Amino acid sequence: MSALTRLLSAAASALAVLSVLASLGAASLISRFPPPSTFSELFPAGNPSVAEARFWRPSCNGVVCKLCPFECFLPEGARGRCKVRLNSGGHLKTLVYARPVSVHVDPIEKKPVFHLLPGSWIYSLATMGCNLRCTACQNWEISQAFPEQAPAKVVAPSGIALSVSPDGRMSGSLQQKEYALMTPKDVVDAALATRSRSIAYTYSEPAVFYEYMLDTARLAREKGLRNVMVSGGYINRAPLEELAPYLDVVKIDLKGFDEGFYRRYAGGELSSVLRTLKDLHELGVLTEVVNLVVPTLNDGPEDLRRLSAWVRENLGRDTPLFFSRFHPNYRLQNLPQTPDETLAKARDIALKEGLRFVYVGNVPGHPGENTTCPKCNRILVRRVGYAVLENLLTPNKGRCPYDGTKVPGVWVDEPPKPVAAGPKGDPCQDCGRPDCRGCPVQHGAEGSDD
């Protein structure tokens, strides 16, 4: 055997030994640090938080989600940019049905919503996920996370314990309950038990937990509760049309008025949000608009003027518009909070553009928190932070007591009108529901892109 042959044989033996050692090392590492779980392990069959999604169609070797303007194409096993909608077996699934991760009872002014039952409580919830990438997001821990990162249970308000002190004063404290799964019925029951007058779909982006929101909103309306969607406005017209009859107020975050700003700091398109605002106006849903004023990024006077003029021209001069103070957060901690004078100038610009209800947010005690009569300029709802100190609109059924001017909004705590049942079509071939728009076999649906 030549020297070269012996050398090659020794090298082969050494490589074999190294291969065995590497395999043993890999096996040891895998046993200690398992790789990411498969979909079937994360969301096993029968998992009640996995449900059939709506608004999608088959396309090539995958599906196209039709819920929001991104319209993600998803091959088998892929998720949308929202992280909570996935193609499983050629069907689009939602992974967060009945799985809220944040549930609270809030003052309605915290949303902020000022033209719906001032001073009332609103039962508020969110799941994981969002279809935008806002660099100033205050709830990024849930909006930018995956559903499998959620805690196994959520602690949620479930009732009020009332007590009477020796001097006759009555007080109450919220009762809490752990939920592994919080069904629409659970949400509505808890909202009623906590004496909330409405339910808010908020904190993250409710559009991405559309099915859960829709089923809860329907049941809430049947039980006499109001519904509020707090959204970034990234949703397509068809799902919005189906949801709109159950919504009493929609609060849209209009993050700026420049396409470049939207792409860089929100990860979306301004035009899509403006289209949603127009859709809501056409559908007759009371809409309140909030602009978070971020120093040096979207606080230019001309941008604020164009935003205000667009709201007046497209949504009407009675549309409530908020300019809210920015606090350094998430990926914009290098910027200062918004100065008071910037917010005051923004409000002045909007008023000069003809808007009649312009507010300042996140500045407790600012005069811009009050609702004033656009005709006589008297204060009709006086606020400090989340507290309502005076409300002249509810006892006067939404009219100024001084001159009779009607203020748009819901001011009287009366049960909402039930949604009229529309004409029933033929049942869907997939799910059997006459109102289905989401199954791959749809009435009048687009064909595939094969």
pLDDT tens by residue, 173-193: 899 999 999 999 999 999 999
Every domain of the chain with CATH number 3.20.20.70 lies at 102-152+181-391
**pLDDT higher than 60, residue 30:** no
Whether the CB-CB separation of 219 and 193 falls below 8 Å is answered with no
45 pLDDT exceeds 70? no
> Has residue 70 got a pLDDT over 90?
yes
Q: What are the angstrom distances between the C-alpha of 276 and each of 74, 244, 269?
A: 24, 12, 11
Convert 152-168 to b/e letters by CB count within 10 Å (16 or more is b): eebebbbbbeeeeeeee
What Cα–Cα distance (Å) separates residue 448 from each residue in 58, 63, 70, 181, 189?
Answer: 6, 9, 18, 35, 41
Coil, helix or strand at residue 163: strand
Would you put residue 83 in left (φ > 0), alpha (ψ -120 to 50) or beta? left
Residue 274 neighbours by CB under 8 Å, 6+ apart: 310, 314
DSSP tally for the chain: helices H, then strands E: 10, 19
Cβ(123)–Cβ(137) below 8 Å: no
The whole-model pTM stands at: 0.85
Distance CA(330)–CA(265), nearest Å, equals: 12
Phi, psi of 248 (to 5 degrees): -95, -35
* Dist. CA 229–CA 124, nearest whole Å: 10
Whether residue 346 is predicted with pLDDT greater than 70 in this model: the reply is yes
What pLDDT is stored for residue 28 in this prediction?
63
Predicted local confidence at residue 434, as pLDDT: 43
**346, 293 contact by CB (below 8 A):** yes
Residue-level pLDDT at 74 = 96
Among the ranges given (44-58, 287-301, 340-354), the one the predictor scored with the smallest mean pLDDT:
44-58
Q: Has residue 240 got a pLDDT over 90?
A: yes
Listed range (8-12, 294-298, 338-342) with the worst mean pLDDT: 8-12
CA distance 94 to 372: 43
Q: What are the tokens at 218?
A: 């329907």
Band of residue 56 on the pLDDT scale cut at 50, 70, 90 = very high
* pLDDT of 343 above 90: yes
Residue type, 86: L
The pLDDT of residue 427 is above 70: no
Task: Give me the chain's average pLDDT, please.
Answer: 89
What's the gap between Cα 171 and its chain centre? 32
- The CA distance from 161 to 5, in Å, is 87
- Tell me the C-alpha distance between 410 and 118, whole Å: 9
Percent of the chain with pLDDT over 70: 86
Of 24-28, 48-52, 227-231, highest mean pLDDT: 227-231
Distance CA 411, CA 397 (A): 6
**What are the structure tokens assigned to 440, written together?**
């791959």
Q: What angle do CA 16, 21, 27 make, to 5 degrees?
A: 125
| pLDDT at 374 exceeding the cut of 50 | yes
Helix, strand, coil percent content, the chain, rounded in steps of 5: 30, 25, 45
Write down the pLDDT at residue 6.
Answer: 73
**Mean pLDDT, rounded, for 227-246:** 98
Sort residue 448 into left (φ over 0), alpha (ψ -120 to 50) or beta.
beta
For 371-398, what is the mean pLDDT? 97
Cα–Cα dist 90/73, whole Å? 12
- Per CATH, domain 102-152+181-391 is 3.20.20.70: yes
pLDDT for 171 equals 80
Highest mean pLDDT among 361-365, 423-427, 435-439: 361-365
Confidence of residue 23 (pLDDT cuts 50, 70, 90): low
- Of the two residues 139 and 447, the one the predictor is more confident about is 139
341: three-class secondary structure by DSSP? helix
pLDDT tens digit sequence for 196-210 = 999 999 999 999 999
Cis check: omega of the bond before 112, within 30 degrees of 0: yes
Q: What is the pLDDT of residue 425?
A: 46
150/115 Cα distance (integer angstroms): 33
Q: What is the rounded average pLDDT of the residues 331-338?
A: 97
**Is residue 447 scored above 60 in pLDDT?**
no
Q: Which of 47-56, 106-115, 382-391, 414-423 has the lowest mean pLDDT?
A: 414-423
